[in-house]
Amino acid sequence: MKVVVTGAAGFIGSQLVERLLAEGHDVLGIDAFIDFYPRADKEQNLAGARGHASYRLVEGRLQDLALPSLLEGTSQVYHLAAQAGVRPSWGRDFEIYVDNNVLATQRLLEAAVTAGVPRFVYASSSSVYGDTPALPLREDGVCRPVSPYGVTKLGGEHLVHLYGTNHGLPVVSLRYFTVYGPRQRPDMAFHRFLKAARDGSEIHLYGDGRQTRDFTFVDDIVSATRAAADQGRPGRVYNVGGGDRVELNHVLDQVRAVTGRDPKIVREATQKGDMRDTLADTGAAREDLGFRSTVSLREGLAREWDWMRNRT
């Protein structure tokens, strides 16, 4: 197959590209190298795929590229490009989120319709839900995001659905729950915790640490994303989560156990836009995609720690 991956230089996208190449597909990656975190990190993410005979990387913004010709003859589009990050999405920078998460998605959907792409997978987020007392979060539950980022990811999801129903584009959306593992973005909690452990610096912890998250190891996210393209039901939305609700304070205990170090914790105020708790109901993904979480938090953290220790 010829497949297209947007956000191909990112944390998750680069690992999806490697999986697709290992399966023998021809992969066209697209990435704009937006400056949310250093380009050097993304160049390291690309190291495994660059130079592979079946890989081509196009640098540019989805909003600017001649997408219909790039998508010609493509069997599957994986749309992972986005401006990520909950906390910086307030204020003036909201414009960047609208541009990269809503407008870019609409441009790509138009091109996918023009090119007659038979399968389109969209990387959505648990952030679309917002705070709700009802856990686990189910795909048919209310979506009322508590961050501007979540609003743009939900906007993208609505667009995806719209192009599915109005133009017959076979679309599937996946709501990823807090992804971690090697190459995790530098703004994300585990990355910051493990880096602090490595460098002997302080960990800044937002809130009381009793907030909970359903953490998902990146390999499991990649597997679910591949399965969504091959066997997801068109028009469906699926939660993809690790299946456990873990307190941030417990994560810190695990960080101490895995690293053998005890970094100083500096407690900071809860940040606007952070959800209090998340836990995915993954019944639909289990049934339709054969999804199951295969990597425990302890094992996954150890793998991220290995990566953190060996990077420059």
The residue from 3, 4, 5, 13 that contacts ligand NAD (CB under 6 A) is: 13
Least Å from the CB of residue 260 to ligand NAD: 26
7 phi-psi bin (left φ>0, alpha ψ -120 to 50, beta other): left
Q: Which is nearer to ligand NAD, 25 or 61 (CB)?
A: 61
- The reply to whether omega before 170 is within 30° of 0 (cis) is no
Q: Is the dihedral of CA 190, 192, 193, 198 positive or negative?
A: positive
Cα(162)–Cα(171) distance, integer angstroms = 10
Decide: is 176 part of the binding site for ligand NAD (CB under 6 A): yes
DSSP secondary structure letter of residue 37? S
The residue from 104, 169, 252, 297 that contacts ligand NAD (CB under 6 A) is: 104
Q: Single out the segment in contact with ligand NAD by CB under 6 A; choices: 20-28, 174-182, 266-274, 302-310.
A: 174-182
Cα(291)–Cα(217) distance, integer angstroms = 13
Q: Which is nearer to ligand NAD, 164 or 182 (CB)?
A: 182
Decide: is 81 part of the binding site for ligand NAD (CB under 6 A): yes
Decide: is 189 part of the binding site for ligand NAD (CB under 6 A): no
The residue from 9, 16, 115, 301 that contacts ligand NAD (CB under 6 A) is: 9
β-partners of residue 240 are 176
Catalytic residues: 149
Q: Are 234 and 172 in contact (CB under 8 A)?
A: yes
Least Å from the CB of residue 6 to ligand NAD: 6
Q: Single out the segment in contact with ligand NAD by CB under 6 A; choices: 111-119, 159-167, 175-183, 298-306.
A: 175-183
Q: Which is nearer to ligand NAD, 34 or 255 (CB)?
A: 34
DSSP H helix total and E strand total for the chain: 11, 13
Q: What residues from 117 to 146 belong to the interface with ligand NAD (CB under 6 A)?
A: 123, 125
β-partners of residue 176 are 125, 240
Cα(8)–Cα(276) distance, integer angstroms = 30
Q: Which is nearer to ligand NAD, 58 or 135 (CB)?
A: 58
Residue bearing tokens 């910086």: 88
Instruction: Tell me the two tokens of residue 233.
Output: 């039901």
Decide: is 303 part of the binding site for ligand NAD (CB under 6 A): no
- Sites of contact with ligand NAD (CB under 6 A): 6-7, 9-13, 30-34, 36, 42, 61-63, 80-84, 100, 104, 123, 125, 153, 176, 178-179, 185
